[in-house]
Amino acid sequence: MPDTATAASGLGTYLPLVLLLLLSFGFAVFSVTIAPLVGPKRYNRQKLQPYECGIEPSPQPVAGGGRIPVKFYLTGMLFILFDIEMVFLYPYAVAADAVGMFGFIAVTIFIVAITIPYVYEWARGGLEWD
């Protein structure tokens, strides 16, 4: 297909997608801007406090130097690792028949290389959540 699709493979192909993006973006911005103008305003100091049980709100996690569990960071790193793997697997999958056995062996080596740190993290308990 590449030779027939050259005429339609320019960036112009993406134009309708950008139009849809602009329409939904415009709708979202419109809604967010119109809401405070249309709705009522009844000022009350209590309403502006963070939603929480108890009389005194707990220290703010954002401004007060609260800490985020390191688990999320680990998950994020693992995600990046696997995301890169995915990004490399897609082109292989598209061209799998063209590259044949050689490509398969190369991809298998790559997958094994990614799996080793994964197994290591699993064994070290990086995937435990409690």
Partner 1 sequence: MSTLFLAQAQQEASRAEVLADDPWWLVLLKVVVLFAFGVVMTLFMINWERKVVARMQHRVGPNRVGPGGWLQSLADGLKLAFVEEIIPDGADRKVYWLAPVISSTTAFVGFAVLPFGPKVTIFGEETYLQLVDLPVGVLVVLACSAVGVYGIVLGGWASGSPYPLLGALRSAAQVISYEIAMGLSLVAVILYAQSLSTGDIVDAQQNGWFALLLFPSFVIFVIAMVGETNRAPFDLPEAESELVGGFHTEYSSLKFALFFLAEYVNMVVLSGFAATLFLGGYMAPWPISAIGDGYFNTGWWPVLWFLVKMLAFLFFYIWLRGTLPRFRYDQFMRLGWKVLVPVSLAWVVLIAGVRALRTDGNVGSTEIVIFGGAAVLLIVLLTLLIPERKVEVTDRIPLAGSGFPVPPADLEVPEKTPRQLALEKAERKRKRLAKAGAASTTSSSASADKEGSDDGDA
Residue ranges in 11-40 that form contacts with partner 1 under rule CB under 8 A: 12-17, 19-21, 23-25, 27-29, 31-32, 34-36, 38-40
Compute how many residues bind partner 1; rule: CB under 8 A: 77
Please report, as residue ranges, which positions from 55 to 84 form the binding site for partner 1 (by CB under 8 A): 57-58, 60-63, 66, 68-69, 71-72, 75-76, 78-79, 82-83
117 binds partner 1 (CB under 8 A): no
49 phi and psi angles, rounded to 5 deg = -75, 155
Q: Is 8 in the site for partner 1 (CB under 8 A)?
A: yes
Are 117 and 109 within 8 A, CB to CB?
A: no
Nearest partner of 70 among 78, 81, 82, judged by Cα? 78
Pick the binder of partner 1 from 113, 117, 120, 122 (CB under 8 A): 122
Cβ proximity to partner 1: between 55 and 129 the closer is: 129
Angle separating helix axes 96-123 and 70-94, nearest 10 degrees: 160
**Backbone phi and psi for residue 120, each to the nearest 5 degrees, phi listed first:** -60, -45
